[in-house]
């Protein structure tokens, strides 16, 4: 059972949750990141996610290891989608189980913040009036192929 995944297929949230449920989990916190229609005053038509998959999965696993250090009883699973996503599609699902709810909440929030910081996933927002790459993570200074500042 692979706990940390990058996929081009729609995410089955229950599959991610099922990976962390066990006999000592008193709480399961689930974060589901979806594609929103409005970003400030801009209307989004769709998003495109790109990733350096081997490194992205390795970094997701690193986040899981960091969570295990901070919350030793935690079990974590993360799946992030790449490709073209429409409004309301699930982009990322994080499930964290712990014996107590506070730890599950904190670990889940920690996971999404770390994803934004260290995982080499890039997002191109397609608006009704243009498009732009957004969300360059710390530690992933290079851009994907096809990005105006990327190396091809």
pLDDT, tens digit, for every residue of 4-41?
A: 999 999 999 999 999 999 999 999 999 999 999 998 89
Task: Please name every residue paired with 49 in a beta bridge, in sequence order, or none if there are none.
Answer: 83, 123
* CA 54 from centroid of its chain's CA atoms: 15
Q: What is the pTM of this model?
A: 0.89
Where in the chain are the domains?
4-134
Residue 55 burial class via C-beta count within 10 angstroms: exposed 0-12, middle 13-18, buried 19 and up? middle
CB 93 within 8 A of CB 30: yes
Check residue 96 and give left, alpha or beta (phi > 0: left; psi -120 to 50: alpha). Answer: beta
pLDDT along the chain (152 residues), means of 10: 97 98 96 95 96 97 98 98 98 98 98 97 95 69 50 38
Tokens found for residue 77? 């699973």
Question: What would you report as the CA-atom Rg of the chain, rounded to the nearest whole angstrom?
Answer: 16
Pick the CATH number of 4-134 from 2.60.40.10, 3.90.1170.40, 3.40.50.150, 3.90.960.10: 3.90.1170.40
CA 88 – CA 110 distance, rounded (Å):
23
Among residues of the chain, what percentage have pLDDT more than 90?
85
pLDDT of residue 152: 36
């Amino acid at each position: 059972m692979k706990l940390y995944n990058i996929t081009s297929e729609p995410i089955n949230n229950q599959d991610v949750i099922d990976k962390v449920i066990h006999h000592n989990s008193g709480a399961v916190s689930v974060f589901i990141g979806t594609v929103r229609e409005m970003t400030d005053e801009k209307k989004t038509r769709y998003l495109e996610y790109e990733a350096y998959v081997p490194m992205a999965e390795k970094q997701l696993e690193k986040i899981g290891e960091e969570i295990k250090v901070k919350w030793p009883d935690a079990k974590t699973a993360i799946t992030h989608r790449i490709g073209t996503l429409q409004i309301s599609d699930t982009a990322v699902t994080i499930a964290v189980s712990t014996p107590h709810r506070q730890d599950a909440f904190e670990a889940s929030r920690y996971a999404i913040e770390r994803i934004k910081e260290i995982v080499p996933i890039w997002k191109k927002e397609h608006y009704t009036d243009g498009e732009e790459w957004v969300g360059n993570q710390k530690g992933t200074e290079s851009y994907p192929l096809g990005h105006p500042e990327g190396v091809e």
